[in-house]
Structures are given as structure tokens and as C-alpha cells.
A and B are shown apart, each in its own frame.
Chain A
Amino acid sequence: MPQLEIRGVCVHYELSVPILKNIDLDIFKGEIVSIIGPSGSGKSTLLRVLIGLLPPAQGTVSFNGKVVDYNSKTCLKELRDQMTIVFQQFNLFQNMSALKNVTIAPIEIKKEPKKIAEERSRFLLDRIGLSEKLNAYPDELSGGQQQRVALARALALNPDILLLDEVTSALDPEMTNEVLDAIRELSEDGITLIIVSHEMAFVREVSDRVIMMADGCIIEDGTPTEIFDMPKTDRCKDFVGMILSH
């Protein structure tokens, strides 16, 4: 049974402009799925639907066989207990240090003992190379460091599924590599990852599956080799050809 089932999901923004059109997708446990495509194709919108920030106008999302009720706070809470997201702009809490950003949810929401939560958070921050920045506030950290804190914050909740929404887009190449290294390690942990990224070499390296989206639709879905070396549709060929030529 797929861990995530997306059936016929449609999303409209204001003035009924369709952003997602009839998305059908299955994600299996432990898969690393990358979503690529031009800007405005609906990749980030799809992640926002999955994490419950945006209800679909039509269609359903099921997690472990249970349909997500977007009108139910309890249902969304259960979903977010098992799934979390790292945003492009980090979205760290500006009034909290790096350590506090990572520990606050395990302590306040999951009600973990403070000592255990702090130990685990220190371990996570150390793992991603931020053991010396525990008491730094977000404005005292570089973009790459902030993004790694955001990763640690997401991992501190032990999610079954981790969504990564263009986590390197706001970073320079050096910081990008820092974050990609951290994600590369994650990919070996067996966690289900859904990655929206423009880093094609990275996508090709870590992904089990690559989905190409354009104009709110899934154009192609296959292994990295199928998408990058043997694209079937002209849209996908054009996109892959353009990015590989750079």
C-alpha cells in the first residue's frame, strides 16, 4: 500500500486560476522522490497540499490508507505528526536560538522530556555541523546554517515523510553544498523524502524516482535514468535538454 496516495487533486488560487490539475501520484515508504519542473508548475503548491497548508479544491490525499480531512484540525494534526516540511525560506522562529528552534516542538507539542529533547537536538545539530551555533539566533547564522537548522528542526520530530521545498534556492553555491550534503546523509536513513529541487545533479544522484511537472500537471514519472536520459514527452525533453545544456 502506498504511504501517500494523491488522487485527482486540483488547486485553484484567486480568480480560479488552476495551479494543480488532476494530480495522481503514489509515494511508497522509504522512497526518495524528486519533483522537478519550470517555475510556476505547481511543485511547491503540491507540497503545501500534502502538509495541509492548502486544501485541494478537488481530489483526495490519503496517508497510510486514511483520507486526509482538511476541515478537521485533528486529522491535520495527525498528518503533521508524521510528516513535516522544510521551506525554501527556512522559516525559523526569529525569536528563538538554533537549539530552541529545534527543541520547541518536541518539548511543547510532543511532550518529550526536556533533557531527552535537548540531547537529541544537540545530536542533530552536531550531525549537520552546527554544534558551535546552538545559542545563535537566526539573524546570526548564514543562509546555509539557517537551512540546516530548519532541517534539524524537521528531523527532531522523527517524521515518516520529509518534504523539502527548494531548500537550496535561496543559497549560494557554497551553502548549497552544505545543505545537499546534509540531505545526502538523510537519504541513507530510510526516511521517505519528497524533494522539490532545481539541483539536477543532486536529484539524479539521490532519487529513486523523478517526477517532472509543468503547468500544474505531472508530465512524466520515472527513474532518474528514464527522465534525464530517455524522456518520453517533448515537454520533458525540452526541459531536461535546457537544464542539461547549462
Chain B
Amino acid sequence: MFELAAEQAGMFFTWPNLGYWGRAMITTLTMAALGCGFGFIFAFLLVYFRTWPLKAMIPVRIILTLYVEVFRRIPFLVLTFLVLFGTRGFGFRFSLFSVACLTILLISTAYIAEIIRAGFESIHPNQWEAAAVLNFGRFKTIFGVIAPQSWPLIIPPAFSYFVMFVKETSLTSQIGALELMSAGKYFNSIGISPLLAFGTCLSLYFALSYPLTLLGHRIEKKLKLRFKGKIVKSHEISLIDRNKSHQVAN
């Protein structure tokens, strides 16, 4: 195997092939970024409505909770095929790239929603109460008080989730979407040594995800510096405060 790889290296590492790998890398990154990026926005909206204590919102809360519970438990590959055949069954001819992005969006929304919900719940109830007695509405409370304090708790795990999904996109090669794994399969299928093809694939996944991990650490540090206040977490409240904490009449 090593001998074959050495023999083929010269014809493998050509500019056209490198260009192909480059496009696959960009597609992989774009798929993960679009899916997780929009997933973050939808997840935020999901949590906003799911945690609304109004009685009229009960049906919405049930539906959103079901969404999160279901989509956190479906394998990514299974959902990818469901989205592909489901959309075509309804007459939509999405590109394979779009199918992949949509699948990532559906799953990342569910996972990131839980990260955001946990972030919000980590903030001391007294912040909600302080906002309520000053007549802040729900929108102002969440966007002006709770979310800014939650970012250091939300963004690092959400970013880690995005980095993880960069690797998960390899499963979309099963439906033929062009990304790094499918590029590796392609080269292997035309006779390139598996060591060269998949070794390059592996190296490029690492080359993508490691700098992103470092970026995630940097973002986490900047958030901690920029957010000068102490995040008052729920687990720090005393027993007396715990007895006083009730749902805000909001």
C-alpha cells in the first residue's frame, strides 16, 4: 500500500486535483457554516417561543419540545436520506448541497436549542425578576439582559458543535453531495491508493477543524474579556433565594 501511494503521489498531487480538493473543502465548510449558522438563528427563536410561559403558548411549546426531542435522536445519515427522498416526494428538486444544508439545519437547530436553553436557565432568576419589576417585556428581557449574559455560556459549546459538524458532513457523501469524503471516494474509485485518497481526506478535515477549534478558543476568551460582569449562575443562589424564586408574573 505504501509503495503504491509513493508511486502515485506524483500524478495525484497536481494542480487540478488540488483545485478539486479545494472546492471540496470549501463546500464542506460552507455546508457546515450555513446549516449551523441558520440553525443557531432558528434555535434562538425556538427557545424564545418554547420558554414563553403564557398559557396560550402551550401548544407551541409542546410542538417545539417534540421537535427538539425527536431531532436530537435521529441519526444524521437517516435524516439525510429522509430529507432527500422526502423533498423529492413533495416535488422539490433541491440540489444535493441544499439537501445536506437543510439536514444540518434541522439537526443543529435541535441541538443548539438545548445549548441556548441551558445557557438561559443558567442565569440567576433574579435577573428575570429585576427586568420584570422594571416593566421590561419578554423581548427586552431576553435580548437586553439574559442573552448578553448567556453568550459566554452558549457560544463556546455552539461553536464546538459547528466544528464537530464539519466532520459530520462526511456522511452526506452517501447521497452524493460533493464534499471532502466524496472527493476521497472519487479518487479512490479512479484507482488512487486508499492511503493517498483517504489520507488526504483525513488531513484536510484536520486542516479545517483544528484552526476552527483554535478560533473557538479565541472567541471564548474574547467573550470572557468583553463581558465584564460576573455571570450570576443559578447554582450560586442560596437556599433562602431558592425559596423566594418563583415564576415571574410575566
Q: Decide yes or no whether B148 CB sits under 8 A from chain A.
A: yes
B241 adjacent to chain A (CB < 8 Å): yes
Chain A: minimal CB distance from B198 (Å) = 47
Instruction: Known contacts A91-B127, A93-B127, A95-B145; decide if A138 and B229 are in contact (CB<8 Å).
Output: yes
Most buried by B among A45, A77, A87: A87
A73 to B53 alpha-carbon distance, docked (Å): 13
* Contact partner, A91, options B126, B136, B148, B231, Cβ 8 Å: B126
Whether A53 and B129, one on each chain, are in contact in the complex, defined by CB atoms closer than 8 angstroms, is yes
Are B126 and A44 in touch, CB under 8 angstroms?
Answer: no
Q: Are A109 and B135 in contact (CB under 8 A)?
A: yes
Which chain B residue lies CB-closest to A106?
A: B134
- In contact, A109 and B136 (Cβ under 8 angstroms): yes
**Whole-angstrom distance between the Cβ of A60 and the nearest chain B Cβ:** 15
Among B207-250, those with CB < 8 Å from A are 227-232, 241, 243-244, 246, 248-250
Question: How many residues on the B side are at the interface (Cβ–Cβ under 8 A)?
Answer: 28
Assess whether A48 is interfacial by the CB under 8 Å rule. yes
Q: Within residues 102 to 132 of chain B, which ones have a CB less than 8 A from any CB in chain A?
A: 126-127, 129-132
Known: A76-B249, A87-B129, A157-B134. 19 other contacts (CB 8 A): A48-B246, A52-B249, A53-B129, A54-B246, A54-B249, A77-B135, A87-B126, A89-B241, A91-B126, A94-B149, A95-B145, A95-B227, A105-B134, A108-B140, A109-B136, A138-B230, A139-B229, A139-B230, A153-B134
The 30 sampled A-B contact pairs (Cβ below 8 Å) are A48-B244, A48-B246, A51-B133, A52-B132, A52-B249, A53-B129, A54-B249, A55-B249, A70-B249, A77-B135, A81-B135, A84-B134, A87-B126, A87-B129, A89-B241, A91-B127, A91-B130, A93-B127, A94-B149, A94-B232, A95-B148, A96-B229, A104-B134, A108-B136, A108-B140, A108-B144, A109-B140, A138-B230, A139-B228, A139-B229
